[in-house]
Structures are given as C-alpha cells and as structure tokens.
C-alpha cells in the first residue's frame, strides 16, 4: 500500500548561468565539518519525533537534503556506503522527508537516495525536481531550462528508475521556465498524478504570480526557497502568499551554507570553487557586519544548551508550523545534530525576542551573483 506519510542546487545554478562551471556546492553540513559548530554538552540529538504538514503531506519536522552525497564542494566523492548509512540512520532517528533532484549529480544523488531508502520506502516521503535542461539519458547538463510537458514526463520516468520507486511523493519545478505557461506544467504534472507516479507537486523560487496561477490550476503542496537568518527574502511576500493559499514552505540552505554553524570568522577566505567565494555576503568587507548573526546564535545556543546551527534551524521552525527545513550533510554527527533541532522549543516571548534581534541585524551583500539570481522570481509565459 502506498504510504501517505504524507535545496535547488546552487552548483546547478552556477553552471547553468556560466558563473562557476562544474564547481559543486558547499553544503551546510560539509562546512560544519570544517570548522564546525562547537560541541555542546547534552545538546539535543534525540532525533525527530514531531511531524508537520506541507499542505496535506505529513512529514518529519526536519528533513534531510541529500544533494551533496555524490560529490562535495571540494570535489571529493563521499563513501557511498556511508551516505547510505546516514540516510538509514536519519530514518531511524525519525526523519521521513528526503530531498533530491535530477540536477544533483546530475542523476547520481537520486540513485544514492533510492539505494539508501530500500527497505523502508513506503514509510518516507521523497522529493525530486525537474526543470533544468539535462540530457535524459546521459545526465549531461545542457544550456538553460526545460519544462516542456513531454520533457517533464520523460524526466520523471528517469527519476522513478533511479529512485527505485513507483511514485514521487513531492515533485517540484526546480526553476520556472519563462517560455512555458505554468498551466501547461501543471497539466503535465496532473497527468503524472492521474497515473499515480506523482502524489504532490510544488515550485522552487518562482515568481508570485506564477505561484498563484499554478495553485489555481492544480493545488500546490509546497514551495521551496532559500531561507535562513542570513537570507530572509521569503518574509517579504512569499510566506504570506503560502499562508493565504495553504501551501507549505521548505527552506533550503537553512544554515546559510555553514555560516550559522559558526564555521566562518573574520579571517576566513574561500578556496577557488567554493561558492561562498562569489557570494558578496561573505566578502571581507561584509563579513564583520554579518558575523553579528553568528554571535547571536551562539548566545542563544548557550541559553538553550544547543549548538548555533540548532538554534538557526529551530528559529525557522518557530516562524510557522508549516515550515520544514531541509539541512544537507555528508557527516553522521551533523545529521544527528540537525535532527535534534526539532526538540528545541521557544516560548512566545523568546520568539519575539529572537525575531527582534535577528531583524536588527542588516545583512550586507548578496546571496548569489546577479547571473544566478536571474533564475529566481521568474514568471512563466502567459497561457496561450
């Protein structure tokens, strides 16, 4: 019986935009492992017992992003069996929400996830994403985007094989293709739903008008976007729109590419290929200012007997009951740490105090280069 348990790759974005060809993403958790968040005695690591709803899809309060399990930002290839162990241990600790995409690898991360969840597939919800122009057979990244309906259907067939499953619990459009009406995309997804191959669908970093059009055509379960204390863009209008429409929200890069774990200080400089080297929020001119956020999460970590990263994740979950962060990792210890964040609770007065402190820090610098940001907030072509 089918279960009703019921982060886009910046590497993909950079490659697609021609900014940093073939350079993998520095994952939040990998950054933790190199100058990681300090070990806090008795910090929560009990796993995830709480559940949340993205629309009608029920999942664990914290998900696991498997994006970097095929290759880290330092071009190293993690041990495959250890990645499987992390996926299985996450499930053992209550994680029922696993996030992948055809663009991650490309293709290879879906294979790793499919292998890792074998034995408990029907007890978890898995996601994948289409939308980048990727050769269906070879996985070669081609220029631009492709959300043509026929391509979507073929892409999903490949996903199902790699994930070793007969359905995808939540299928996202990774980025909006401005050439294709979102109604046509929704129609293709609807055909897949009618066949039982997709159970829910969502969008990532879309324009708001496109979100409304998509939801009117076929109810959207979740929106995925970057969101953390370091980048709070969704607070401007996306979260309010999701709340209005009853759509869940899934923050990717919830730890700010490792920044909110305390892994970066004023002396930090980034090697070639590290995405943070081209994000001006991490430039020497801006770091000193932005490190006020790190001081804040460290202070609250002491108050709550938690790590800075756990405070950052718990803060996201405190914003709305329908927010489910997906923190990525290639390290077992960091998976346990991240899932432990679900047990941290803030009183209403603590939420108000922490929100005020976060709002008082004006982050300087952009989250991504202009050529990459051009793929976010895009509106789909008008319906023909």
What is the C-alpha separation between 31 and 329, in angstroms, rounded?
9
Check residue 1 and give its pLDDT. 39
Global pTM value: 0.89
Check residue 46 and give its pLDDT. 60
369-376 LR contacts (CB < 8 Å, sep 24+): 369/14, 369/17, 369/19, 369/278, 369/279, 371/17, 371/18, 371/19, 372/10, 372/13, 372/14, 372/17, 372/19, 374/17, 375/13, 375/16, 375/17, 375/145, 375/175, 375/205, 376/175, 376/205, 376/225
What is the C-alpha separation between 311 and 133, in angstroms, rounded?
37
Q: Using alpha carbons, select from 123, 118, 105 the residue that is nearest to residue 12.
A: 105
Retrieve residue 271's tokens. Answer: 């090697």
Check residue 45 and give its pLDDT. 59
Retrieve residue 157's tokens. Answer: 């067939």
Q: Using alpha carbons, select from 247, 177, 180 the residue that is nearest to residue 212.
A: 247
What is the C-alpha separation between 358 and 2, in angstroms, rounded?
42
Kindly report, residue by residue over 166-210, the tens digit of the pLDDT: 999 999 999 999 999 999 999 999 999 999 999 999 999 999 999
Active centre residues (catalytic)? 104
User: Which residues are paired to 224 by β-bridges?
Assistant: 204, 250
**Quick check: 93 and 124 in contact, CB under 8 A?**
no
Q: Which residues of the chain have pLDDT under 70?
A: 1-46, 71-76
């Amino acid at each position: 019986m089918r279960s009703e348990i019921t982060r886009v790759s910046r590497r993909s974005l950079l490659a697609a935009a021609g900014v940093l060809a073939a350079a993998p993403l520095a994952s939040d958790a990998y950054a933790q492992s190199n100058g990681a968040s300090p070990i806090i005695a008795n910090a929560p690591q009990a796993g995830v017992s709480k559940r949340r709803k993205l629309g009608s899809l029920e999942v664990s309060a914290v998900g696991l992003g498997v994006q970097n399990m095929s290759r880290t930002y330092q071009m190293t290839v993690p041990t495959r069996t250890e990645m499987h162990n992390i996926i299985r241990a996450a499930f053992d600790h209550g994680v029922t929400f696993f996030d992948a995409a055809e663009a991650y690898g490309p293709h290879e991360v879906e294979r790793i996830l499919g292998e890792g969840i074998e034995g408990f597939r029907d007890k978890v919800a898995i996601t994948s994403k289409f939308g980048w122009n990727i050769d269906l057979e070879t996985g070669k990244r081609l220029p631009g985007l492709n959300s043509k309906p026929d391509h979507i259907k073929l892409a999903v067939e490949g996903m199902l094989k790699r994930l070793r499953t007969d359905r995808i619990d939540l299928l996202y459009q990774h980025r909006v293709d401005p050439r294709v009406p979102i109604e046509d995309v929704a129609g293709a997804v609807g055909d897949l739903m009618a066949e039982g191959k997709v159970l829910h669908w969502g969008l990532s970093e879309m324009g708001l008008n496109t979100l409304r059009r998509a939801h009117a055509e076929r109810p959207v379960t979740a929106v995925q976007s970057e969101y953390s204390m370091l980048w709070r863009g969704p607070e401007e209008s996306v979260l309010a729109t999701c709340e209005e429409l009853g759509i869940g929200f899934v923050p990717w890069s919830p730890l700010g590419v490792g920044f909110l774990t305390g892994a970066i200080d004023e002396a930090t400089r980034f090697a070639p290929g590290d995405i943070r080297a081209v994000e001006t929020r991490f430039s020497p001119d801006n770091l000193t200012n932005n490190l006020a956020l790190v001081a804040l999460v460290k202070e609250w970590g002491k108050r709550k007997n938690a790590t800075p990263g756990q405070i950052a994740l718990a803060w996201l979950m405190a914003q709305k009951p329908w927010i489910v962060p997906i923190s990525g990792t290639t390290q077992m210890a960091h998976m346990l740490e991240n899932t432990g964040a679900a047990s941290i609770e803030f009183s209403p007065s603590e939420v108000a105090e922490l929100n005020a402190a976060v709002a008082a820090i004006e982050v300087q610098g952009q989250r991504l280069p202009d050529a990459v940001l051009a793929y976010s907030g895009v509106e789909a072509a008008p319906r023909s």
